[in-house]
Structure formats: structure tokens, C-alpha cells
Amino acid sequence: MSAATGAVTDALRELHTRYAGVDEGELAEYIPKLAHADPGAFGLALISMDGHRYSTGEADVPFTVQSVSKPFVYALALSLLGLDEVSRWVNAEPSGEAFNAISLERLTGRPANAMVNAGAIVTTALIPDTPVAPRFGLILDCLSRFAGRRLDVDEEVYASEAATGDRNRALAYLIRSTGPLPMDPVAAVETYFRQCAVRVTALDLAAMAATLAHGGVNPLTGDTVVSEPVAAQVLAVMATCGMYDASGDWLLRVGLPAKSGVSGGLIAAGPARFGLATYSPLLDPVGTSVRGHLAIGTLSHRLGLHLMYNPALAGSTVTLVSSADELPAAPAGKRERARRERVAVAAAQGALDFTAAERVLYALDEAASGETGAVVLDLVRVTAVDTVARAMLRSGLARLTADGLRTAVADPDGRLREPGEEAGAARSFASREEAVAWCTEAAAG
């Protein structure tokens, strides 16, 4: 396992181990087929803006997307119709009520937002329907592009949902009675049921969340699924409304745009940073996965992921990935250059947080490929390293050492050292050239 993959996956595995034994919560028995889910299933997945995938547990176990589909169908409606037109039919205000409540605006009957069932039914109905491009075909294609692969429908769950979905039908008729439902209530709800029965995995959901976090561009495929303004609008509604009557507490404590579903799926997005998803079907009274809530909350706190924190600037962290013989200060002698050829160098700059550290670790992995015998991490131009990034870099360097590589750090300010520690995780030097020289001498020996 690489330094980068190991450091991030270890964090997910620790959370899986910590919360896998939690048996609080109930299965969503009001949809009979969902009551057959394995209550012990628990998977976590994270996808970075560079398309790096991390997972643990049952991250590839299929389940139905349910309400986690809502932000993505809302994104489709915004893309096709625009914010002003969609807002004529569906508001964007927190309801403070449960997912299946009658959250309708007085006089107009407009649903409070697109995350509650009433608003989601209207949003689904807004998607154009033509013989050439059927409504559900557009929805399934949209969800598939967000996931980065072709998705399908669990017909048994769809049938189970359709057989027991009278409350949603009642909502649709109530909305229609006041005006804002642009199609037959029965047809609207049947399409909505089918949308909720689309089959996904936690890894799929992480890709979908990462696409929103990446400004509408799927980091796995490079496909621009929606525009950046649409992605931002969807994330805004997720942040304020995605967790229903627990949205305020979630944003206060976890600080990430999120959406839950009664099958046990839960997504969270760190704008310009990552997409995160969990799967565990035991639900709390609000309809959110108990283990998923605990895991994402802990990860946000531990890694400093809250939206209101000030993250390091993305995209400018890694400044060099090279071998030592290609550096400007490399000697001209053939023998000396051959020794330095086996010394890999990666340099970083700026303030390092979780996202920046993940990029640096991947740079180390890239630098350490082939016949490399030693690795130098240059932190001379790094201005700050938070506690999460420090732990990740130390773990990554330790893995490289365990793999038989000599590791050194150009760290004149001791940013990788823990408080009170005299020596860091790797041999430390005041400059890059000193670190390279030490590694080259070892290669010569």
C-alpha cells in the first residue's frame, strides 16, 4: 500500500473499527424491502479532487440511493431550467421538519426546499419528458454521470416502495391542489419512486459528492456533469436543508454540506477538497445512518474539515517531483549523478492541511517509483503544518521507511516534529541539498 493510500485509508479503517460495533438505530421498515438490509453492513469511502479513491468496509455493497438522489436531480433541474425557474416551483428555505412532512408555503403551496419529499417530487416533475428523451432516462443518465459509471434500478425495491408510498402520493395530490405540480401526481410519484430505487455503492456516492465538490466535474472521469454555479447552488441547499430537521445541528457540529437517505447512505462534500460517503442501514429518529453520522462527524472534527475553517489553498501545494540528479545543484560527474538518480525528491509549499498533505503523499509515491532507494521531502517553503497533516506525513514517511527506502526531510523549522520531540519521524536537515547528500552517501555505501 502506498504512503498516501495508507495514511488516508488508515483513518477510515480506524473509524470503521471504532463504530462498527454500534448497534443503535432501526432499519427503515416502512419500505418492506429495506427491512431486509444487513444491519451490520458498514462502509466508508472518500474520493479526492485528484480522483484518488479510499475505502474500507462494505464500500462496494449495492443499496438503493433513496433521498441521496435529491441533490443530484435538483442539480439536473437547475442545469436544464435555471435557478429562477426552478425557484418558482420549489423554495430553498430550511423547513425545520421531517423529510416526509407537509412542508408547503402558505397560499402558494410551494414546497420548502428540494431536499424534503414534497420538494423532491416537484423537482422530479420539473425534468422535461419527451418521447426522444424520457424523464426518467434523463434522471438515470444524470445520476450515472455523477457516479462515473452506468447505474441501474433495483426493481424489487421500486415495487416495494410503490406498494407502500401512499403518503408521497398524498403529498403530490396536496401540492397539485394548490397549483405547483407541473404534471399528473401519480406519474410524478412513480418517477420519484424509481429515482429512489437506483442502485449505488458508497464508492459511487463518494464520487457523486466529489463531483459537486469539484465544481460539477467528476474527478474520476473528467466529465463536466453540471456547471460550477449549479454545483455551488446545490451545495448551498445541502448545507442548509440536506439533513432535514437536524440540518442546523449538523452544520454547526460537522460543518459540511450533506444528504442522508433511509437506505443508510450518507454523503458529505468538502468543496474543492473531497467527496465522502458512508453506508450503514441502522437509522436514527431523523432518518440518518447512526454509524455514518458518527464516522463523518468524527472525521470532520479530527481532520479539521468544517466549512468555516480556513483551509490551505488548493492546487499550489506540490512544487517539485523529481530525482536528485535533475536538480540545479546536481554535480556533473557521471558516477555522482548515477547515485543521485536513485534519490527521489518532492517539495511542497504553503500551509498544509488534510487536503494538501494527501497531495504531498501522492507526490512522494510518484517520486519513489522505479529504482528509487531514498526519498527526500522538502518542506523549506512550507509555512505551516496542522496536526492532521503532520500525522499523515509522518505516517507516510514511516511506510516508505518500512518498505526499505531511506527517508529524509528538509525541515529547518521542525514542522514535522511533535511538540517537545527532539527528532522527527525521519532524519531532518536544514536544507534540501544536505538531505540529498545524506541519502546519496547512503546509496554510495
| Active-site pick, 33, 69, 70, 158 | 70
Rounded to whole angstroms, how far apart are CA atoms 287 and 18? 22
Q: Do 58 and 79 contact (CB within 8 A), yes or no?
A: no
Known catalytic membership, residue 157: no
pLDDT confidence of residue 325: 58
pLDDT confidence of residue 364: 84
C-alpha cell at 312: 490551505
pLDDT confidence of residue 137: 97
| Active-site pick, 153, 262, 345, 360 | 262
Residue 173 Cα to chain centre, angstroms = 36
Give per-10-residue mean pLDDT for the chain (445 aa).
Answer: 73 95 94 95 96 96 98 98 95 80 75 92 94 95 98 97 91 80 83 97 98 97 97 97 93 96 97 95 96 96 83 62 64 64 88 88 81 88 89 90 90 86 76 90 62
Short-list 129, 119, 109, CA closest to 74: 119
pLDDT confidence of residue 312: 47
Known catalytic membership, residue 19: no
Query: Order of strands, edge to edge, in the sheet holding 43-48?
Result: 53-57, 43-48, 274-279, 265-270, 258-260
pLDDT confidence of residue 329: 56
pLDDT confidence of residue 1: 57
Q: What is the pTM of this model?
A: 0.88
| Active-site pick, 55, 67, 300, 323 | 67
E-state strands within 353-389: 374-385
CA atoms lying within 13 Å on the CB side of residue 180: 25
Known catalytic membership, residue 67: yes
pLDDT confidence of residue 147: 98
Three-state DSSP string of 167-188 = HHHHHHHHHHHHCCCCCCHHHH
| Active-site pick, 158, 244, 279, 362 | 244
Three-state DSSP string of 28-97 = CCCCHHHHHCCCCCCEEEEEECCCCEEEEECCCCCEECHHHHHHHHHHHHHHHHCHHHHHHHCCCCCCCC
- The label of the residue with cell 543521485 reads 340
- Torsions phi, psi for 8 (to 5 deg): -75, -45
C-alpha cell at 25: 438505530
CA distances from 266 to 43, 63, 121, 278, 293 (A): 10, 12, 20, 5, 8
Known catalytic membership, residue 237: no
Known catalytic membership, residue 334: no
